[in-house]
Amino acid sequence: MLQRVQSTNETRSERNYQVAKWACFVISLLLIAFAYVDVGTISIGSNNYNLSLIRLNKAIAYTIAILGLQVVIGYTGQIALGQSFFFGTGAYISAWLIADHSWPFLLTLLIVVPSCFLLGMVLGLPALRIRGLYLALLTFGLAAVFPSIVKLDKLYSYTGGAGGKLTSNYKFIAPAWLPFDEVAQALQKIPLLGGFFGDGPLSTREESRLWKYILFSLIAGLCFWLVHNLIHSRPGRAMRAIRDNETSAATSGVNLAITKTLSFGVASALGGVGGAIYVAEVGIASPDDFSSLVAIYLIVGLVVGGVGTLPGAVVGGLIYALVPDWASSTQSISFVPERWLQGPTGSLILGILLIVLTLFLPGGVVAGWRRLKSKMIAKQ
């Protein structure tokens, strides 16, 4: 009897801990937003690093696309490299609806999600026949052709050809009932730290940026919640069974065809959502933003965060959004020849990260962090 009471106490405190953790997480997301809505540059030496919400919004877009890769590669074990194809498809559908049909952003998701889901399932059909490296090859090919597809003359009226599709006519306007200004000013009054939160009321531009950030974060949160539930549901277990051993999954009654197509569909839909957010942030869908290089960068995000871990997607999204950008902002470091800073240094760093992590930390940053944490707890 006594034992049972204790254990409920424990689960209760455990639950409180979880709630507190999530609350801290959400509050810090908001604090970051207010802190970096205006300027947000860090200077190290003579280099300025941009931290503004634009980067974070892009990171959210990549995070959702990488979440899709977690489903198909991390949990189902299918080497699908072509996420940039669906990222681009989502971006272009959303851009087309916004620019040519004046749809609001959120509504475009209602088209983006089902069409990318279906497209992913259809393009995933060959995966029922081909496996492993053949699939990797084919999906890499898909990623490679996306830019030339959207550049087609036939599609010009939808995609804007090589010049891309501009969506900047659409403005994100924060609902009036959101107390952005009040919060900002309250934060500015905090002694010592107030200075981090800018000065005076927010401009319309800043409010819009902040609103986008909150909106995108909510969408991302929803995506994580859905994927989390999927992974722990029956189809999710089927996916993991396929990853661990396809043959024994089939003999224990998993329907390979349905499970695989489902995972391709979900992954592609997430890719599409990521693309839609990306285009909403940058204001234009242009062909070369969806090249096969993007497909590889998304894989970098997947691997660096950790294949088969949901939080890994966040780490991966941040890495993708920040590393190349900061690398190109780094104009001078002593002892490093300038030439090495002016070229595609970001690409070099991401490539090295990819190799080093695969060699030395196969579970990615998240697994490394967990290992560190458990070591520290063991020491105590």
Q: Which residues bind another protein (CB under 8 A)?
A: 73, 77, 79, 81, 126, 129-130, 132-134, 136-138, 140-142, 144-145, 148-149, 151-154, 292, 296, 299-300, 303, 307, 339-340, 342-345, 347-348, 350-355, 358-359, 362
Which residue's CB is nearer to another protein, number 133 or number 176? 133
**CA distances to 14, 56, 59 from 379, in Å:** 21, 36, 35
Which residue's CB is nearer to another protein, number 57 or number 286? 286
Cα 176 versus chain centre, distance: 28
Which residue's CB is nearer to another protein, number 98 or number 350? 350
Residue partners of 225: CB distance under 8 A and separation at least 6:
none
**Residue 317 CB, nearest approach to another protein (Å):** 18
**Residue 246 CB, nearest approach to another protein (Å):** 13
**Residue 258 CB, nearest approach to another protein (Å):** 19
Angle value at C-alpha 118, between 308 and 155, nearest 5 degrees: 115
**CA distances to 149, 256, 322, 352 from 332, in Å:** 39, 53, 18, 20
Which residue's CB is nearer to another protein, number 78 or number 259? 78
**Residue 3 CB, nearest approach to another protein (Å):** 32
Structure tokens at 110: 């209602």
Go through 332-363 and write b for each residue having 16 or more CB atoms within 10 A of its CB, e for each that does not: eeeeeeeeebeeebbbebbeebbeebeeebeb
Q: What is the DSSP letter of 368?
A: H
Angle value at C-alpha 147, between 167 and 150, nearest 5 degrees: 55
Structure tokens at 81: 């490299």
* DSSP assignment string, 135-168: HHHHHHHHHHHHHHHHT-GGGHHHH-GGG-EE-T
Which residue's CB is nearer to another protein, number 198 or number 305? 305
Which residue's CB is nearer to another protein, number 222 or number 355? 355
**Residue 320 CB, nearest approach to another protein (Å):** 12
**Residue 235 CB, nearest approach to another protein (Å):** 21
- Give yes or no for a contact between 123 and 276, defined as CB atoms under 8 angstroms apart: no
**Residue 339 CB, nearest approach to another protein (Å):** 6
Which residue's CB is nearer to another protein, number 36 or number 87? 87
